[in-house]
Amino acid sequence: MLLSATAGLAQNNGTKLILIKGQKLQIDNAVKSLTNMDLMGQSMEMTSDATMTHQVEVKDTKDANYTVASTITKITSSGNAMGQAYTFDSDKKEDLESEIGKAMKGQLNVTHEADFNTAGNVISAKTLANTDAPNANPMMDMMKNLTGGGNDDGGGAGDIFQVLPKGKKPGDSWTDSTIAEGSKTYKTYTLKEIKGNDAILSLTGTQSTNKKIDQQGMEVNVTMESKLSGESTVDLTTGIVKQKSLVMDGAGNADAMGQAIPITTKITSNTIVKNL
């Protein structure tokens, strides 16, 4: 049985997601962002340097689907928002009791559960725990709205599953698209090379955002066009991403009270996934 299972994994070639009940993973994600706004000729800069740790567990496998639970267990963040510096570390009690900490509690230790098919797509999702705290601080919420983020129904787990189309060889490319509320993302993947059981993929793409948001009681219409680039390493025996990098360069406008505010943003993320 062991030999048969091993042979099956070896022949997967990345074309199907293969998870095992009880399997545990850790996702370490580091994100840096720089955003500039031009308000009445005055430039305002916002910076953020954040890290998040997700604990992921495969709760069940049945009917060719996988039930996966994902929980953010640690957040650190520092930056500058319109001249005001801030820092946060979820491991520090005093930070959890601060105003930023009260907002961050809406993300910490909240478990999201999703069912994935063997193509790595979410077919249903739910939140297992809730809190009365806000979902995020205003700055983080604003950044998500500017970039079309926050649409991962898998609670972060879906971002580490990458299934390749059948028959792809080094040099081949394929496209993927995601349409969510107020956001359209188009990606082109290229299989650069295969190293043992690892596939090295490059990514280029675009993201268009056009949505109305409520920012501290004021309605803001955000339009932004962004370019995407990145690279990832995928385990061909499982379809699990080992590591990935992504750069998003965007420019657009935030229209508020009849005034168009030019915005530019650059976000760089690096993700590492390891078995526990």
Please determine, for residue 11, whether its predicted confidence score (pLDDT) is greater than 80. Answer: no
Choose between 246 and 144: higher pLDDT. Answer: 246
> Which of 34-48, 88-102, 139-153, 164-178 has the largest mean confidence?
164-178
* pLDDT tens digits, one per residue of 96-148: 888 888 877 778 898 999 999 999 999 988 876 554 444 444 445 554 544 44
pLDDT band at 268 (very low <50, low <70, confident <90, very high): very high
Please determine, for residue 68, whether its predicted confidence score (pLDDT) is greater than 70. Answer: yes
User: For residue 10, what is the enclosing H or E element?
Assistant: helix 2-10
In whole angstroms, give the CA distance from residue 256 to residue 218. Answer: 8
What integer pLDDT is reported at residue 197 of this predicted model? 94
Spatial CB neighbours of 251, under 8 Å, sequence gap ≥ 6: 224, 225, 226, 262, 263, 264, 265
The arithmetic mean of pLDDT across residues 68-91, rounded, is 90
What integer pLDDT is reported at residue 134 of this predicted model? 45
The arithmetic mean of pLDDT across residues 248-260, rounded, is 87
| Contact indicator for 59, 68 with CB cutoff of 8 Å | yes
Torsion 88-90-95-97 (CA) sign: positive
Choose between 64 and 206: higher pLDDT. Answer: 206
pLDDT band at 63 (very low <50, low <70, confident <90, very high): confident
Choose between 83 and 49: higher pLDDT. Answer: 49
SS3 of 115-152 = EEECCCCEEEEEECCCCCCCCCCHHHHHHHHHHCCCCC
* pLDDT tens digits, one per residue of 168-197: 999 999 999 988 878 899 999 999 999 999
What integer pLDDT is reported at residue 3 of this predicted model? 41
Q: Does domain 8-275 have CATH number 2.30.230?
A: yes
**Quick one: what percent of the chain has pLDDT higher than 70?**
84
